[in-house]
Amino acid sequence: MKYVQPGQPGSIVAVEPRYDNFIGGKWLAPVAGRYRVNLCPATAGAISEVPESTPEDVELALDAAHAAKDAWAEASPAQRTAVLNKVADAIDERAEMLAVTESWDNGKPVRETLAADIPLAADHFRYFAAAARSEESSISEIDKDLIAYHFREPLGVVGQIIPFNFPLLMAAWKLAPALAAGNCSVLKPASPTPWSILKLMEVIGDIVPPGAINVVNGPGGEIGKALATSPRIAKVAFTGETVTGRLIMQYAAQNIIPVTLELGGKSPNIFFADVMASDDEFLDKAVEGLVLYAFNKGEVCTCPSRALIDQSIYDEFMGRCLDRIAKIRQGNPLDTGIMLGPQNSAQQLEKISSYVDIGRAEGAEVLTGGKQPHIGGQFTGGYFYEPTVLKGHNSMRVFQEEIFGPVLAVTTFTDEADALAIANDTLYGLGAGVWTRDGSRAYRMGRAIQAGRVWVNCYHQYPAGAAFGGYKISGVGRETHKMMMEHYTQTKNLLVSYSPKPLGLF
């Protein structure tokens, strides 16, 4: 089925001509009165106007968050849990509307937003609702009369800067643990995807207390920096590229506050020869596992963008994968039959195209794709790129740098040690995939790969409850797990003496 594009008669998504910031539970126009047009990546046409905010708007959001933080911190776990569960229920109730909105704002196919982004976002709030409800502090009996009480206390107001590739899901990843732990947030969406989070606030804005969530849109160089450098935040969380990650750490150092960072990867997806031992459902799953590089048009920090295939099965296995890739349907992201939508922006498209040219110049062989498709109609100006496979070797730039598009770099290995060496020969350590019918080999490889998440006989699953985060330069901290509650709290120790006796020193 095809959803009607937002704003058109018959669409399930209403579009206002202009949106404002969401601050203190209200829609506030940006102080300087500046707006810009937000473009749809599928058509390069306008969706609506969004604020081009200035640091004054960040200050208003911080004012609102600080005004709200004491009451929210003092809300009982049961009260916080109830709010987060209501948020999840509201997302579920409006799932289809949010899925279409997300697809139109980002370009991702609606089959993905319906199946993954939106249900996962709702589930994330539910998971952290449960985490909040079941939090327990600890007591240590130092000796008979000296007791150490450990309480987890909220940090206060946190700054959260999210990326354009999963605008709603990344908002949920960041907001749910922050709120569960009793904090208030000032959230800056990515500049290319300012809209879907505002539609989310239309859905959940009345459920959370005013000031608990504040959303400010605008240029990173102005408001992202204003937020990250503010002495009024107690923590900053960021997902994006490495230079901004370093800069955020630097600003955090100046304020002596903690950071969590997720900065990308160049994830290996390793296929051992035994995946072809039988022509069965598992082999079919492994073929799909390789083709998952095209999930969300490759705009995923954990995109399995390096396929390492045992040389003894390369021809037959890659042949099956290329057949599957040839069946990828590309076009209108609002068509549930479409698997590959447009890249998020013209500049992303240009970068991808430039990397494929770099690959060609380095001698990589283009096995499929390598150009923009002709989609036609209203999508002629959209930022589409064909699913592409480059064959080469791991020292090529296209194997080393994150392309952030539907571009797979494929190479072969000779044995397990070779596979491991290639897998770890990268600056990054976010994700990895291992495909084998040999459980012992899967375990050995899983433990030896230097990455925070190793998928074994699966890929691109992001359930709440499985910790996600990077080794090496891929970042600091772990999301999507209740350990995130520690990243959003600080420990208060009450050390209490129940003894009447003096120390006897003075």
Partner 1 sequence: MTGQVTGERITATPAARHAIGRLRAARAAPVMFVQSSGCCAGSVPMCFPAGEFLTGPGDVLLGEIDGCPFYIAAGLDRALGHPSLLLDVAPGRPDGFSLGPGPRLRFVTRPAAEAATTSPPLPG
> Of 48, 53, 185, 191, which lies in the binding site for partner 1, with binding defined by CB under 8 A?
191
Residues with catalytic roles: 262, 301
The CB-of-450 to partner 1 minimum distance in angstroms stands at 14
Of 402, 451, 105, 416, nearest in space to 272 by CA: 416
395 binds partner 1 (CB under 8 A): yes
Q: Does 225 bind partner 1 (CB under 8 A)?
A: yes
Contact in structure between 473 and 301 (CB atoms under 8 Å): no
What does DSSP say about strands 21-23 and 26-28: parallel, antiparallel, or unpaired? antiparallel
Figure out which of the listed residues 72, 127, 164, 272 binds partner 1, where binding follows CB under 8 A: 164
Local structure of residue 40 (DSSP, 8 states): P
CB of 473 to partner 1, least distance (A): 7
In 3-state terms, what secondary structure has residue 150?
strand
- Host H or E run for residue 289: helix 281-291
Q: Is position 381 an interface residue for partner 1 (rule: CB under 8 A)? A: no
Q: Please report whether residue 427 would count as binding partner 1 according to CB under 8 A.
A: yes
Nearer to partner 1, 265 or 370 (CB): 265
x/- map, 263-302, partner 1, by CB under 8 A? xxx---------------------------------x-x-
* DSSP symbols for 324-352: HHHT--BS-TTBTT--B---S-HHHHHHH
When asked if residue 169 is in the footprint of partner 1 (CB under 8 A), the reply is no
Scan residues 470-499 and list those touching partner 1 (CB under 8 A).
473-474
- Cβ count near 99 (within 10 Å): 28
Please tell me whether residue 38 binds partner 1 under the rule CB under 8 A.
no
428 contributes a contact to partner 1 by CB under 8 A: yes
If the CB atoms of residues 153 and 350 are measured against partner 1, the closer one turns out to be 350
Burial class (CB in 10 A: 0-12, 13-18, 19+), 418: middle
Is 165 among the residues that bind partner 1 (CB under 8 A)?
A: yes
* Both structure tokens of 270: 């390793």
DSSP-assigned states of every residue in 186-221 = EEE--TT--SHHHHHHHHHTTTSPTTSEEE--S-II
Residue 247 has which token pair?
Answer: 């800069």
Residue type (1 letter), 478: R
Report, in Å, the least distance between residue 250 CB and partner 1: 5
Identity (one letter) of the amino acid at 355?
Answer: Y
Of the ranges 67-75, 210-218, 334-342, 349-357, which one interacts with partner 1 (CB under 8 A)?
349-357
The yes or no reply on residue 250 touching partner 1 (CB under 8 A) is yes
Choice between 33 and 376, CB closer to partner 1: 33
246, 329, 371, 393: residue in contact with partner 1 (rule CB under 8 A): 246
Measured distance CA(467)–CA(487) in Å, rounded: 13
**Running DSSP on this structure, what letter comes out for residue 182?**
T
- Give the binding range for partner 1 (CB under 8 A) out of 79-87, 195-203, 245-253, 432-440: 245-253
- Give whole-number Cα distances, 455 to 166, 267, 460, 466, in Å: 20, 11, 8, 11
Stretch that binds partner 1, among 21-29, 179-187, 258-266, 442-450 (CB under 8 A): 258-266
* Distance, CA of 470 to CA of 74 (rounded, Å): 33
Q: Which phi and psi angles does 66 have, rounded to 5°?
A: -65, -35
Stretch that binds partner 1, among 4-12, 95-103, 136-144, 190-198 (CB under 8 A): 190-198
Q: Give me the 1-20 binding string for partner 1, x by CB under 8 A, dash otherwise.
A: --------------------
Residues that bind partner 1 (CB under 8 A): 163-165, 190-192, 219-221, 224-225, 228, 239-247, 250, 262-265, 299, 301, 345-347, 350-351, 354-355, 358, 361, 395, 397, 400-404, 426-428, 473-474
